[in-house]
């Protein structure tokens, strides 16, 4: 079933919502997203990977936690049956009320400041957040069968995971609740009020917060293009610059391994090729 048809039918059946407009959000690594207009109301709809229902629901509860602390975040809308998500053949579907404002542009220096600031604020606000759906950080399975898609892939994933293991053994990292996929399109700024916010909290898990920073830097185009983002994050977040300098090279490599893993699942040869180049460069 085409994605838009799946979204329309699930919104109708589970929320009694009939969209007059559905617009796809920029593609992210771990989920698909759409902006939904229904009459005068605007929403964001997220379709997560199959098997991710519990961490997605943890992220929705985390969004409610942020709102209670006066941090702009999408308000989860429960299904007619009272559930936070609707299970579909393609994964868990979540619906949130749209935070006012325009989505951030990852390459814009001013937007990068907002982006880094908001991610840092969210990390701080969720430091004492707990939910049974939060999974321990385990971004990759080196034994997954789809890693046979390319001869080099399983070895590259194993090497990236090995580097992370060495990092976590030798360096003390700051752990907390991860967004998991903090793309710039997940964040907005309202020009009318000057307030920045977060559309959703992703499929939350617990792990080194520097991984979220690495994921964001990947969306910005790499460390050379993310200076303002890092400045914004360090000013607002719980991870200091010294820790980031140590952790980011290893976690950026891991993020490319995650992208390669997802591309292999989807049969995306273009992303696989880019991931191979990045992983080979990171390995030296």
Q: Decide: pTM greater than 0.85.
A: yes
Query: Position of tokens 């994933």?
Result: 157
The DSSP annotation for 19-73 comes to -SEEEEPPP-SSEEEEEEEETTEEEEEEEEPTT-HHHHHHHHHHHHHHHHTT--B
- Token pair belonging to 264: 């292999």
pLDDT along the chain (284 residues), means of 10: 80 96 84 91 90 90 95 96 94 94 95 97 95 89 95 96 95 94 93 90 88 96 96 98 97 96 92 94 84
Contact of 4 with 15, CB cutoff 8 Å: no
45 phi, psi to nearest 5 deg: -120, 130
**Is residue 90 helix, strand or coil?**
coil
> Which tokens hold the place of 126?
């969720």
Report the C-alpha gap between 61 and 67 in whole angstroms: 10
The span from the CA of 231 to the CA of 86, in Å, is 38
């Amino acid at each position: 079933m085409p994605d838009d048809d799946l979204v329309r039918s699930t919104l109708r059946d589970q929320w009694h919502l009939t969209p007059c407009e559905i617009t796809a959000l920029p593609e992210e690594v771990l989920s698909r997203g759409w902006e939904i207009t229904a009459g005068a109301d605007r929403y964001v709809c997220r379709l997560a990977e199959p098997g991710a229902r519990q961490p997605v629901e943890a992220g929705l509860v985390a969004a409610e936690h942020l709102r209670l602390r006066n941090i702009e975040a999408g308000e989860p809308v429960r299904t007619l049956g009272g559930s936070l998500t609707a299970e579909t053949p393609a994964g868990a579907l979540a619906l949130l009320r749209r935070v006012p404002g325009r989505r951030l542009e990852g390459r814009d220096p001013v937007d990068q400041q907002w982006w880094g600031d908001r991610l840092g604020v969210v990390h701080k606000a969720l430091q004492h957040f707990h939910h049974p759906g939060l999974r321990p950080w385990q971004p990759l399975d080196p034994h997954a069968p789809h890693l046979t898609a390319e001869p080099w892939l399983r070895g590259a994933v194993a090497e990236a995971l090995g580097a992370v293991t060495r990092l976590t053994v030798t360096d003390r990292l700051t752990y907390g609740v991860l967004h998991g996929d903090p793309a710039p399109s997940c964040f907005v700024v309202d020009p009318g009020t000057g307030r920045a916010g977060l559309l959703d909290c992703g499929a939350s898990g617990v792990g080194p917060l520097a991984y979220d920073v690495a994921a964001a830097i990947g969306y910005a185009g790499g460390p050379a293009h993310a200076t303002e983002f890092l400045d914004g994050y360090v000013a607002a977040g719980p991870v200091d610059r010294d820790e980031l300098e140590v952790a980011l090279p290893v976690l950026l490599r891991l993020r490319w391994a995650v992208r390669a893993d997802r591309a292999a699942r989807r049969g995306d040869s273009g992303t696989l090729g880019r991931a191979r180049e990045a992983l080979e460069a990171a390995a030296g």
